[in-house]
Structure 1
C-alpha cells in the first residue's frame, strides 16, 4: 500500500515536472522573440497588431472561425460570431490607431516629467469558450501593439478555434517578417495545471471567463487583470420609448444566444408601463411563461444549483424543447421571459443565465426599480453595468452615483454597447473590469493601457513650496487650529 502511494506521488511529481517544462519551453521562446520585438519601433508594433487583426477580420477566415467556434463549443450562433469577430476587432483598431505605445509618449515641461512606454513582457491570455476567437484576438492585438509576446490558454472547448486563429495570425506575422513565437498557445489537452503554470511563469495575466480562472489568476503570484461576473439588469422607466427599448433589449438578449456577459439577464419595469412594455417585448419575439412553465424551465436550466450545458447559449426554441415546453417551442420564440419577485440562490432566475431567457421584475417607481437592481447585484453581477431606458437621461447619473456598477448604458442595446460600439465612446473590449465591487483591480474596459508599463523620468524644476495656511485655511476657519 505504501509502495502504491509512493508510486502515485512519483507519477504526480513527474507530471508536474513535465507541465513546468512544457510551459517553460513556450515562455522561453516567447521571451526571446519579445526581447527583439519590443525594440523594433512603433511601426513594427503597429504592423504586428494589424497582422493579428486582419487574421480574424478577413471574411473567409472570419467565417471559418465563426462556424468552427459554434461547431466545437455548441455555444451561440455563427452569424453573430462573424459580426462580433469583425466589429470588435475593427473597433479595437480604431481605438489603437495613432496611439504611441513605445518610447517617449508624453512630456510635461512644467512638471519636468517625461513618460516612456515599456512592454510588460510575456502575457498569459486566459480566454473563454463563449468567444473562442474574438476574445483571444482582442488580447493578442492589444499585446502586440504594446511590444509584448502572448501565450493563450483557451478553454478546452475552444481549443481548435483558437488554434485555427493562431495559425491565421502566424501566416500574417510571417508576411510582415515577424516571429511567430510572439503568439503561441498551450498545447492540447488544455489542463488547469498547465494554465496555472503559465500564469506563474509569465509577466502579466489577463483573464476572461469563469470566476474560477479569474481567482486563479489573482492567486498566481503574477500581476493580473481579471473580470467579474456578469448579470446585467436594465431599467425601463415610465418615460421610455417602449418600442425602442423593447427592440434594443430583444437584440441584446438574443445576440449570439446571450453568450455575452453584457447581455441583459433581467429587466426591471416601472409599474406605470409594465404591461405595455411586456406587450412590446412579446411583439419582438418574447414569450412570457406562466408559473408551471417557469418551474419546468428552472428544472431544466439548473442542476444542483449549476447551469445546465443543455441550455447554455442555445436558442430559445431549443431550450423550450429541453424543458419539455413543446407548445412554446412551436411558437418559435426569440427569447423566453419569466416574472420574478425574489433574489438569490433560491430564486435562480435572478442570476446570470447565459441563455436567451429574460427575467422580468415590476417596480413601483424609479427608486424602487433601482433598489431591485441593487438586490440583484447583491446576489450576482456587482460592478459590471446597468442599462437604463428613459427620456430622463439624468437618471443615469443617479444610477452611476448610487449603484455598484462601473458602467451605465443609456438607451442602447446593452451587450453591443458595454464593450464599446461605434455610437458610444467606450473603448472596444471583450473584457470588462468590475472594480472592487466585482473583486477586480480595475473598473474600465480592458484596453491597451493595461498591457504597458510606464517609466517616468523626473527632471528638477524650480522649487515651489505651498503655504500650509492656504491649503488648510478652510479647515482652520471652520474648526480652528
Structure 2
C-alpha cells in the first residue's frame, strides 16, 4: 500500500468527522451535548465493559494491572463527569450588562487526540467526553499497542450512541494499522490537537501548524521532611508508586528524605513494602541493559520486575517496589529520570533547604513544570517549594498519582494529561479539562465611558517618584 493510499482512509474519516460536527453544532443544545457525554462515560464505566477494556489493555500492551485499570477507568471518568455536570458549553454562557459583553460558547471543530499505550481506554474516553460536551467531533490516534483497546472503546460508545440516536461519526479513530504518517495527517487536518504521550509526539503536535494542547514529561519528585508523618508518607508513596504498575506520569520517580528522619523513613518504607537497594550500578545495568528501559521491567507486577532486575532472593518476601539509594542527577545518571516501573530513586538531603535544591535539580534535568510532592506538617514549606521549583503543582501530604490528576479529596480537575507550562514547553500549565475544548464568540456593545483621569492612575507614582 502506498503512502497516498494509506492516507486516503484518514482523509475520509476527517471529512466525515467534520460533517458530523457541523450537524452536531447546528442541531446542538446543552441537553444534547450533556447526553452524548453521559453516553461516552457509561460506555467505559459500565462494569462488564470496564473490566473487558482493562483486561484487553493489559493483554495487548503488556503494561499495568487489570484491577487498577478498572479503578482508573471508573474514578477518572466519574470525577470528570462530576466536574463537567454543571458546565455551560452551549449558547450564551455569560451576559454582563456592566461591560456590555455577551459570551457565546463555540466548539473547536474536529479534535485530533493522540493517546498513549499506558492508558489506552481512560485517556481517550476522557478526551472524547470533553470533546462532545463542548460540541466537537473527535478522531483518536492510539499508539500501536493501544489500537485494540481504542477499537473496543469506540464500539461501546457507538452502541450507547445508538440508544440515544446520536451520530456515530462524532467519535472515530484513524484507520488501522496506525502510522506516524497517519498521526501527522490527523494533526495537520484537524482543528485542535490534544496530545498525551511520547515527547516525540508532543513535539510533532506543537509543530504541526494546528492549535495544540500537549503535555510535558513526568518525573515526579517528593520530599519527606523531618516533620512528616513517616508511616502515612510511606504508605501513600507505596500506594501511588505501585498503582497500575507506575504507568502514570504522576507516579513518584524520586524521593528526597531529610537526614534527620532518613533511617526512620527507610524503616517505614520497609514496613510498607519498599525494599532499599544500595547497589545502584547493578540496578542501572539491569534496568537499562542496552541504553533503553528494559521492557521486562516497564509497568510490570512486582514479582516480574524483581526477577527482571535479578533481585530474586535479594529482597524480602512481599516486596512491592524497590528504592535505589543514589546521589547523582543528570543525563549520565538515568535513575534521576522517569522509570515507568516500580523503581524509585532515593536521595538523602542534609536538611529541607538541601532537599529543595536536590528536587530542583531533578526537575531541571527531567520533568520541569509537571509536579512535585511534599510530606510535611510545616505549613510554610509548600509555599517555599512553589516559589523555588519550576513546577505547576505542589502536592501536599497526598499519594501523588491519585492527587495530581484530580481527586475527590482535592480541588484539581480530573484529568489524565497534566500541562507543564513554559517550564515543560507547553501552552498550558493546567490539568487538561473541558475548557481546552471550547472557544467563544463575544458580542460587544457600547457602554457609558469609563475613562480614568491621569491622577487616578499616577497619583501614587507621582507622590513617590515625582512627575
- Establish whether residue 320 from structure 1 lines up as the match of residue 320 from structure 2: no
- Establish whether residue 236 from structure 1 lines up as the match of residue 224 from structure 2: yes
1:62-461 equivalent positions in 2, closer than 5 A: 62-291=50-279, 294-328=280-314, 331-461=317-447
Q: May I ask how many residue pairs the two structures share in their alignment?
A: 466
Shift of 1:345: 1.5
- Establish whether residue 28 from structure 1 lines up as the match of residue 15 from structure 2: yes
Question: Which sits farther off after the overlay, 28-37 or 82-91?
Answer: 28-37
Q: Distance in 1 between the 2:8 and 2:190 partners?
A: 14
Structure 1, unpaired ranges of 5+: 1-13
> Any idea what the Cα deviations from partners look like across 1:106-138, whole Å, max 9, x if unmatched?
111111111111000000010000000000000
2:337–2:366 contact (8 Å) kept in structure 1: yes
SS at match of 2:313: helix
SS at match of 2:219: coil
Q: Distance in 1 between the 2:318 and 2:309 partners?
A: 14
Q: Distance in 2 between the 1:47 and 1:468 partners?
A: 53
SS at match of 2:59: helix
1:2-13 equivalent positions in 2, closer than 5 A: none
Runs of 4+ in 1 over 3 A off after TM superposition: none
> Any idea what the Cα deviations from partners look like across 1:274-327, whole Å, max 9, x if unmatched?
110111011101111122xx3222112114432222211112321221122221
1:393–1:410 contact (8 Å) kept in structure 2: no
Q: Distance in 1 between the 2:54 and 2:9 partners?
A: 30
RMSD of aligned C-alpha atoms? Answer: 1.2
TM-score (norm 1): 0.95
Shift of 1:188: 1.3
Shift of 1:153: 0.2
Q: Distance in 2 between the 1:170 and 1:359 partners?
A: 44
SS at match of 2:461: helix
Shift of 1:273: 0.6
Q: Distance in 1 between the 2:462 and 2:409 partners?
A: 49
> Any idea what the Cα deviations from partners look like across 1:391-416, whole Å, max 9, x if unmatched?
11321122112210101111100000
1:316–1:336 contact (8 Å) kept in structure 2: no
Which of the numbers 18, 32, 43 marks the counterpart of 2:5? 18
Cα 1:329/1:186, change in 2 over 3 Å: farther
Shift of 1:330: 6.8
1:227–1:433 contact (8 Å) kept in structure 2: yes
Q: Distance in 2 between the 1:465 and 1:337 partners?
A: 62
Q: Distance in 1 between the 2:286 and 2:179 partners?
A: 29
> Any idea what the Cα deviations from partners look like across 1:30-85, whole Å, max 9, x if unmatched?
11111111232111100100000000000000000001100000101000000000
Shift of 1:477: 2.5
Q: Distance in 1 between the 2:458 and 2:154 partners?
A: 58
1:317–1:329 contact (8 Å) kept in structure 2: no
SS at match of 1:158: helix
Q: Distance in 1 between the 2:388 and 2:381 partners?
A: 11
SS at match of 2:370: coil
